[in-house]
Structure 1
């Protein structure tokens, strides 16, 4: 009897211990000087900067793979003026140069055969020893090396409880809780997500969609009906949007809205299109053929068939070469990889809704690839060429060779201490508190596909306006309004208008702003002052000392 009691007590004690351990793990509390939410390049540059400044920093992120778009297919870098890229961002591209300077890096293709085509700069820049064009897995390895060298703790597959997981007291974030119960506490937080999830959960003001031109005295914001800056429109093809051409009673083809597009210059809720940046190859040893996706419906691509019939022939114009016989494939033309009009809900959507939207984008693009390679309505020369292509076998090996990250070109944008507009980007309004620079075209992809008054299909929202020279980005763009939150920095979903964000939203700029945010956080901790009370002159000196280029 006594033995049974002892055994029962032991089992009970073991159960309590195990339950207690499980509960502790589930509700683990992680403390640091700075907590960074997100796995983007900005998160990594901020974390590296803080670690090098002897601060205790952790990254917590939904992603399992770090590096955002830079390690998910966007290897044909949107550099703009390379001379404004400094600090850790430049170090990233220099590490890529060091990697590709080794013979063993060229396993499918010789370096001499690759050529040297980049975007606005040579791919292999011997002068600055920078590599601007690269393979996804190589970029991810560079980011992981940054993490390992600096011994940065990364909590992956941790999802912010966006409903009630952010504790804010008197305008200061006290803690953030993940869906798995893990609690993170810090003096300062950095929202480095593309979506701006932490800033929104903390009650910080933000905007989704396009502001009217009158909001900030702009020209290129708002609805842009009749503006065609690139070839991503139907021009004068006069293609019918109806299932039976010319018969409006027959119904509308897939992916065409029947809503009116709005008046030029007015605000709307719409968001520029997303896509996956695909890494494809024609090298047979490394090629995975396209397969017919589940639920494939060829009729959904009827509009593309009509475009070919009208004589369009630019299918492969944005198969941009990256090393080892691969490409960074981007949207091109009136009907391409951009899933126009199908992402409006994404910025504010729940995780489940976002997952559905992402799956729909993937199905659309996989269906498009299969259509191009197999459908008889596609010109034979296009089909023959497309059948030479496939997914790169050595990329995204744990995800069916498909990128882990969809290209969230724009989601929430903070309304912070300073709002960047086209006036700053185009040099009309001077910036006196620069923490970094941008230079790329104010670039918005199409926002909607609609029916014109004369009964044809057209795209709207594609804008490309080039700054006359590099421009400065104000310190206040990464700071919420002081009364809303005093201990948060936002280097990705920065405070800017839709069209200004079209230039700022480039990966090198996000890395620059990530490091600058790290500098600001470190200084605030050292000086024991709120972020908003930092002296810009002192911030400027620290940025220059770290090789950031600010003017």
Structure 2
């Protein structure tokens, strides 16, 4: 098979890359390891986590269309009470558009449908790039393997975008990459470690979905590792891991959580609530639903890439057991305000992810392998301690904007949270371009960030912008007979590319008041 671009990984970055490339007339093969495209917001179960200005600005036009279609789906399919503007389907605290992952799956498939119908876009589900053939600086061919049938197909393309969740194309192609934390001597970052630590990688999480069914008992079978997790307490944790206490991400002080809203404490149920029954007229008695992605089910006992297959499977199993154990603890032992124990009315909703165990189809990977990039964003670029204005560094080669705090979760190396301020930032083109390859681009969380700045470049609208910019860049290079590095380094080409991005709905600058 021959296409214009192979996009490895069907997460948000991969889907956005495919949309952009197809809209520019290219043929695309998009691979996805699971049965669902959408990555962190679908198969991994993490509702959009966005900045405070997202309703007005701070994302691409296509991402805004995606958000609008999510709301339109609810308004069309559900009997919504009143006319909420804008609708937050679950009234979750994490964003203004907390919703069921199945809705995003529907929306993304709809947005890609025009290209699928004409065979311009081929989506290979349950598939991965299993082998790469290359010369010194170019991939020449990849093998795409179906994980269920083991069927293989050779695919040729002038360009390849790695939008996998862990940067899986990088080792296959023998590319240079970084894992974990850089040393302060390498980056000059205020919060960097004194020495490099390649296993200082953020925790990953297996998400599950729950419904609250008042007066019913839905207690699951006791998980096999429950006793282990019940008594587990990391050195930097203020209580047992399965408890309503965790470190405050910023102050590290002991922080109280609650399941539902009480007079004090942070209400976990509302944090990622994806269905608020109070907003809908229903013909059926249902309960609120939420996604369990909380401090208490972050898994940091071992990594799942650059380890043996046996190690990977062990940590995936233990992470699943952690999430199931947390649910079982909530159902049977969690202290209630009335002095009782347990919330047996919590129902594991296996249908949300369509899996036998009720867990998400894939773990939520916060931190990927990262390319050795033409440009690497450091803490100095985005920190208010190093920038006088209201935004971070305004790169000449910017291809988008984003905003999120530097939010690092506990790591495989036993490090605690790092949650510090970051200014609204720009996305430099150089972070998408590897130093050692000419026809490969980074289209997900594998761009040129450090361990620290990964913490603010890893969330939904930024990942989408990264992938969409990659698709647009490939189209620009093919149309103009050039290559990514030349686009970045030639002022005329760069201006032409940025002009094309603006015409296509990319925002390359924050509003004027941010620069005053």
> Structure 2 vs 1, CA of residues 449 and 424 (structure 1 numbering), >3 Å: closer, same or farther?
closer
Distance 2:88 2:58 in 1: 26
Match of 2:25 in 1: 54
How many Å separate the matches in 2 of 1:277 and 1:159?
22
2:429 to 450, 475, 487: 475
Q: Which residue of 1 aligns with 2:98?
A: 133
SS at match of 1:84: coil
Partner SS state of residue 291, structure 1: coil
What SS is found at the alignment partner of 2:3? Answer: strand
**TM-score, with structure 2 as normaliser:** 0.79
Shift of 1:61: 2.6
Rounded to whole Å, the distance in 2 between the matches of 1:393 and 1:110 is 30
Instruction: Determine the C-alpha separation between the residues in 2 that align with 1:290 and 1:145.
Output: 37
Confirm whether residue 200 of structure 1 aligns to residue 171 of structure 2.
yes
For 1:265-280, list aligned pairs within 5 A.
265-268=194-197, 269-280=199-210
1:487 equivalent among 414, 433, 439: 439
Counterpart position of 2:264: none
SS at match of 2:35: coil
Residues 422 and 313 of structure 1, relative CA distance in 2, 3 Å threshold: closer
Q: Which residue of 1 aligns with 2:63?
A: 89
Task: Name which of 70, 74, 78 aligns with 2:46.
Answer: 74
Residue of structure 2 aligned with 1:389, choices 326, 341, 346:
346
CA distance in 1, matches of 2:257, 2:429: 42
* 1:339 correspondence with 2:291: no
How far does residue 199 in structure 1 lie from its aligned partner after superposition?
Answer: 2.1
Give the 3-state SS of the residue equivalent to 1:178 in structure 2: strand
Determine helix, strand or coil for the equivalent of 1:101: helix
Query: How much does 1:87 deviate?
Result: 2.3
Is 2:374–2:431's contact at 8 Å kept on the other side of the alignment? yes
Equivalent in 123, 126, 138 of residue 154 of structure 1: 123
Q: Unmatched 5+ residue regions in structure 2?
A: 146-150, 234-238, 246-253, 260-266, 277-287, 388-392, 488-492, 510-516
TM-score normalised by L of structure 1: 0.75
Alpha-carbon distance, 1:190 to partner: 0.5
Counterpart residue number, 1:544: 502
Q: In structure 1, what is the equivalent of residue 410 of structure 2?
A: 446
Structure 1 residues 478, 440: closer, same or farther in 2, change over 3 A? same
Show the 5 A alignment for 1:499-518: 499-518=452-471
Correspondence list, 1:162-201, <5 A = 165-179=131-145, 180-201=151-172
Whole-angstrom distance in 1 between the partners of 2:66 and 2:209: 20
Structure 1 residue matching 2:158: 3-state secondary structure: strand
Would you say the 8 A contact 1:177–1:183 is kept in 2? yes
Identify the residue that residue 326 of structure 1 maps to in structure 2: 289
**Inter-partner Cα distance in structure 1 for 2:480 and 2:32:** 28
* Alpha-carbon shift at residue 393 of structure 1 (Å): 5.0
Q: Quick one: distance in 2 between partners of 1:159 and 1:290?
A: 37
- Does the 8 A contact of 2:297 with 2:326 survive in 1? yes
**Root-mean-square deviation (Å):** 2.8
What is residue 284 of structure 2 aligned with on the other side?
none
The offset of 1:357, in angstroms, is 2.2
For structure 1, the 5+ residue unaligned runs are 1-29, 124-131, 223-264, 451-459
**1:463 is matched with which residue?**
418
Equivalent-residue separation in structure 1 for 2:483 and 2:350 (angstroms):
49
Q: Is the 8 A contact 1:80 1:441 kept in 2?
A: no
Q: How many residue pairs were aligned?
A: 446
Distance 1:513 1:150 in 2: 21
- Shift of the 312–502 alpha-carbon distance from structure 1 to 2, 3 Å rule, reads closer
Structure 1 partner of 2:236 = none
2:10 to 34, 39, 62: 39
Task: After superposition, give the CA deviation of every residue in 1:314-342 in whole Å (9 maximum; x if it has no partner).
Answer: 1433322222422133223xxx11122x2
Note the C-alpha offset of 1:461: 3.0
Contact 1:44 1:514 in 2 (8 A): yes
1:282–1:390 contact (8 Å) kept in structure 2: yes
1:409 to 355, 366, 370: 366
Q: Look up the SS of the partner of 2:157 in the other structure.
A: strand
Contact 2:210 2:349 (8 Å CA) reproduced: yes
Whole-angstrom CA distance in 2 between matches of 1:500 and 1:32: 34
**What displacement does 1:291 show?**
1.3
Alpha-carbon spacing, 1:62–1:220, altered in 2? closer, same or farther (3 Å): same
Q: CA deviation at 1:154?
A: 0.7
- Aligned with 2:299: secondary structure? coil
Over 3 Å counting, the alpha-carbon distance change for 1:505 and 1:282 in structure 2 is same
